[in-house]
Structure 1
């Protein structure tokens, strides 16, 4: 693991392995780069793969406040400092939100977008809703412990999800304070606008969702079909909120088939 300095206050921890066309993997809310190590290992034989802890997470700097825009600018500077002019972006959960907003600002730097289990408008609301529905089961537990207890309601393959979740806790455990700061960044705290408009894009986009994911709604998928002009939409029948973990071979196959045209153009 190495670190790159974004500015005088912020450093991002990252791992870069492999060779070929760049792929950048971006983790979800309260996660860290450990959540994407398995996927990185699958891709590094054919691609230059970068995984990193976004600000406020993992072993990157944890400021007291930041915005979604800061995540976008962090990625721009990270790519610049690592001399990456263009890349495939794969984002899970919040990572997909970062990737989409980055592509809106810096489309020429994005070869393709892959959004995994990503609700671009109200994922925080959906998680809070689930926690309220099961408040009796998680009363007295912190957020990390609560998410472990809620695994059966979030993932289809609970054993794979549990090992995946624990690997992230071993790498770095997110504090309650850091989780709150990171969540506010997504909600544009203190005002959360549920009428957020998703900008249209012509960037080739793969969206992968699990059939049992409680955070991605049918309404959201219908919005995606309207705004992504070059969209491949795939639903995994044996997955919940982490299809790249619950069905890793299926995910790898779907992604490689999706990017084949751009690979042949290189």
Structure 2
């Protein structure tokens, strides 16, 4: 069920399956929204109450002119509270993993399991902005088609890339979700600015919840060694490498991705 929550002075849109004893909150990646996380939602909805969200600045949520990763982190805890959850498992993908980790560094008493998929410890800007800059493209001016072309090469394992070129792998559907909530130039700039010079590596010691970090073998956006660095920094964290997958490991190797997370959540 879709609902709007009043969070920290703005409206946050969430989609809540509302069924299941344990709650799993999913946080999407850059330029994404709740619908881009539906493939992961569908992996777990039979066993968990799955909550997908539009982070501030995205989807159907309020789009402030400026915000920070700390604002995102505060929103996560408020969402858990507003939904009257004592605790939730939190899974963040790409940009969502930076938010999820920052939220856990703020406090862990309402987070049970933390899953960080395709993550990195810090960055001067978003990984996508870096790739676009290397391709001489401006994130605030680039078309969705141009952005997808750059992301495609960096996102996929070789065999997945070949399938995408042959039309066997619908990359647009995966990246754009079920509905279209594109950001305009100002909104893209605000999104990119929210990740400027973020650094989660200074507060690893504050993460007390059980943590799993997942990397994709061929991830050119957030290479797996960066995820391993995060796992090595968090006491007791596990690291799992998904073979023959890139940044879209959840789609390229969906069964393995699901199994690794289910095994972890069932600990």
| More helix as a share of residues | 1
Alpha carbons of structure 1 residues 60 and 238: separation in structure 2 relative to 1, 3 Å: same
Listed as ranges, the gaps of 5+ residues in structure 2 are none
Which residue of structure 1 lines up, in the alignment, with residue 182 of structure 2? Answer: 173
TM-score by length of 1: 0.86
Distance 2:199 2:102 in 1: 16
Q: Among residues 206, 213, 223, which one is paired with 1:207 in the alignment?
A: 213
Q: Among residues 252, 259, 263, which one is paired with 1:253 in the alignment?
A: 259
Q: Deviation at 1:153?
A: 2.6
Which residue of structure 2 lines up, in the alignment, with residue 197 of structure 1? Answer: 202
Q: Kindly tell me the number of residue pairs found equivalent between the two proteins.
A: 254
* 1:160–1:246 contact (8 Å) kept in structure 2: no
Which residue of structure 1 lines up, in the alignment, with residue 107 of structure 2? Answer: 106
Alpha carbons of structure 1 residues 198 and 105: separation in structure 2 relative to 1, 3 Å: closer
* 2:32–2:176 contact (8 Å) kept in structure 1: no
Distance 1:140 1:54 in 2: 19
Which residue of structure 2 lines up, in the alignment, with residue 54 of structure 1? Answer: 55
* 2:36–2:176 contact (8 Å) kept in structure 1: no
Distance 1:220 1:144 in 2: 27
Which residue of structure 2 lines up, in the alignment, with residue 264 of structure 1? Answer: none
Which residue of structure 1 lines up, in the alignment, with residue 250 of structure 2? Answer: 244
TM-score by length of 2: 0.86
Q: Does 1:161 align with 2:171?
A: yes
Distance 2:261 2:140 in 1: 40
Distance 2:241 2:215 in 1: 5
Q: Deviation at 1:141?
A: 6.5
Q: Does 1:233 align with 2:239?
A: yes
- Once the two structures are overlaid, the 10-residue window that deviates more, 96-105 or 170-179, is 170-179
* 1:19–1:46 contact (8 Å) kept in structure 2: yes
Distance 2:26 2:126 in 1: 24
Q: Deviation at 1:104?
A: 1.2
Listed as ranges, the gaps of 5+ residues in structure 1 are 262-266
Q: Deviation at 1:92?
A: 0.3
Deviations 1:50-81 (A, max 9, x none): 10100000110001111111111111111111
Alpha carbons of structure 1 residues 250 and 175: separation in structure 2 relative to 1, 3 Å: same
Distance 2:81 2:66 in 1: 24
Aligned alpha-carbon RMSD (Å): 2.4
- Superposition map of 1:17-28 within 5 A: 17=17, 18-28=19-29
Which residue of structure 2 lines up, in the alignment, with residue 134 of structure 1? Answer: 135
- Superposition map of 1:65-104 within 5 A: 65-104=66-105
